[in-house]
Structure 1
Amino acid sequence: MNIEQIVRNIESHLELVIPKHPFAEVYRYGVLPPGKAFRPQLVAALYADFSNDREDLSFLDNPKNSINYLASAVELHHAYTLLHDDLPSMDNDDERRGKASTHIKFNEWKALLAGDGLQTASFALLSKFEGEALPVMLKFFSWALGPKGLIQGQYLDLSEEMTKGIDELILTHQYKTARLIQTSILLGFWANENKLSRSESYRISKELFRLGHCVGIVFQLLDDLTELVDEVLTEHELAVNPWLTENSNKCLLEIISDLEKIDSIIEKEQLIQTKRVLSNYFQKIENLLTEGEGNITKHSKVDLVPIISLLNRINR
């Protein structure tokens, strides 16, 4: 996957939707650089996996190709959530991706407005898709990322409902993290407009919805787990990390179950490009877990062997 070209497309598309005004610098700061560009990679990978030639990624070279607008749309939407997440009224984080958070660099009201602008801009880029699937894309995008999806996940997080038990924790991750990953995966599939029958398209959509759910849950639980690689943990981490609670064994079982499902769906649907994107991410996680195993097990006593074994299987 040509991540550099994906990033160039995001940069190009961002300029289409921000004003020619000094305030544009706040948008650029909040979006760029876009980290791993994990979600745009998923859009492109799913599109490639259901095309006639899965190895042909030349569509990435044309910023005006409809699929690239979709990839940038999910990244701008993701960036909006991060700008709002970091605000003092929410997670109150001073840093993001190794630099000062947008509200620290500029100020709170500018970060808030930039987040609002990016949310709307994501729909503007989505609307540039030229194909019959646009109506269903808009419906799913609005449902998955709106009041019944991502926003509800934010509420469950900030209200601390997610700390009541493992079910509430998984539900929060399902809404807050998995919904945007499911959106990325399904947009890539629907954009292909292949000649599948309605029943086959529906079947694959359901499988990919399950895949996105599992990836989202694993993504968040592994992220929490890698937070334990430090020798000394912050008070905040000690208070909220699920791997430090009585739910740690249940988190382990959830990860194992979902990793097995991810591997099964990838193989069943022959998702070559998607596996490459996920393997790249999982390889980095596997390295972190291996290198930080001493501190992780000291903090939580979790058995990392089955997790690392499954990550290794997917990475093959």
Structure 2
Amino acid sequence: MIDETMEWPLRLSADQAHINAQLDDLFARHDAPAERLDAAMRYAVVGNGKRLRAVLVYAAGRALGGDDEDLDPAAVAIELIHAYSLVHDDLPAMDDDDLRRGQPTVHKAFDEATAILAGDALQTLAFETLAEAAPPRLAAMIRILAQAAGRDGMAGGQALDLYAVGESLDVAALAEIHRYKTGALIRAAVLLGGLTAVAESDPRLLALDRYATAIGLAFQIHDDVLDVIGDTHTLGKAAGADAARDKPTYPALLGLDGAQDRARALLDEALEALAPLGEAAAPLAGLARYMIEREY
């Protein structure tokens, strides 16, 4: 059994503060030609995000012996991709949300055209950041990040999610949507962290992959649950939005108890996957538990 000590919450807070500083520095050192666009990008990135994807990069990399300085570019890149996805997801043509992380969404704070451009620019900045750092396995890392963000990952999942509104889906079909829309980027975060430290042939990456696949789905199931039981102030976004849009969710299909049971089963799968990594994976175990216990 992996010892989940109380040290990991402190590490979580430290990593969140560290990645926030990295993101602040990224924008501070660049003189952008379009000030309004740069302001929208900064607005989308610098704020009250949980930074879980970046924290996963650090935790996975450290578990395989990686150094924090080497992990920074991948952590920044994953947060930029995540921010871009939120900017575009919130647009009127997508989920049409007015609130994100407790503040007006980018298209509300600025305008729709600027929000579209900000999302586009954040996506390309992610790959620029990774390429400039030139880690040893850069090609593999770019491939993983691109696949996770594109038609075979997050964008494909968002499309499936949009097309599923008002439709009757079974649990398997909903799991497929979640694995693409949310799980793909979480998996990429874990694998990018691992690849910063070791070669693609290292068998421990398979353990990380199994872990990431399980927590990616568990994370989204818990999001579905929070949309039902949470409140707008705590969530930082509109509660009850899924039901209002007639979107298929795990609570709608399995009930609240059934959805929570499924998330816990996935947690068990994730913890089992970490066994080959021993105590080095304790922070990853703590993060997995946090995924299904968080309040927002």
TM-score (norm 1): 0.77
Offset, 1:16: 5.1
Offset, 1:234: 4.4
Match of 1:240 in 2: 247
Alignment of 1:164-313 (within 5 A): 164-193=169-198, 198=201, 201=202, 203-229=203-229, 234=240, 236-237=242-243, 239-240=246-247, 242-248=249-255, 251-252=259-260, 254-270=262-278, 271-285=281-295
Match of 2:35 in 1: 22
Identify the structure with bigger relative contact order (alpha carbons < 8 Å, sequence gap 6+).
2
Aligned-pair identity in percent equals: 26
Q: Does 1:9 align with 2:16?
A: no
- 96-105 or 16-25, which deviates more: 16-25
CA-based RMSD of the aligned residues comes to 2.6
CA separation of 1:14/1:276 partners in 2, compared to 1, >3 Å: closer, same or farther? farther
1 CA distance for matches of 2:230 and 2:71?
39
Offset, 1:282: 4.2
- Secondary structure of the equivalent of 2:65? coil
Unaligned runs of 5+ in 1: 53-58, 289-316
Offset, 1:279: 4.0
For residue 72 of structure 1, the aligned residue among 67, 70, 76 is 76
Match of 2:153 in 1: 149
- Secondary structure of the equivalent of 2:133? coil
Match of 1:111 in 2: 115
Match of 1:100 in 2: 104
2 CA distance for matches of 1:42 and 1:18?
30
1 CA distance for matches of 2:151 and 2:64?
31
Offset, 1:148: 1.4
Letter of the structure 2 residue corresponding to residue 274 of structure 1: L
1 CA distance for matches of 2:87 and 2:49?
14
Q: When the two structures are aligned, how many residues end up with a matched partner?
A: 271
Structure showing greater radius of gyration is 1
- Equivalent pair of 1:7/1:34 in contact (CA under 8 Å): no
- Equivalent pair of 1:266/1:275 in contact (CA under 8 Å): yes
CA separation of 1:261/1:176 partners in 2, compared to 1, >3 Å: closer, same or farther? same
1 CA distance for matches of 2:269 and 2:260?
14
- Secondary structure of the equivalent of 1:147? coil
CA separation of 1:156/1:163 partners in 2, compared to 1, >3 Å: closer, same or farther? farther
Deviations 1:220-253 (A, max 9, x none): 0011112222599747525335245344376455
Offset, 1:115: 0.3
TM-score (norm 2): 0.82
CA separation of 1:280/1:225 partners in 2, compared to 1, >3 Å: closer, same or farther? closer
2 CA distance for matches of 1:274 and 1:5?
18
Match of 2:235 in 1: none
CA separation of 1:160/1:18 partners in 2, compared to 1, >3 Å: closer, same or farther? farther
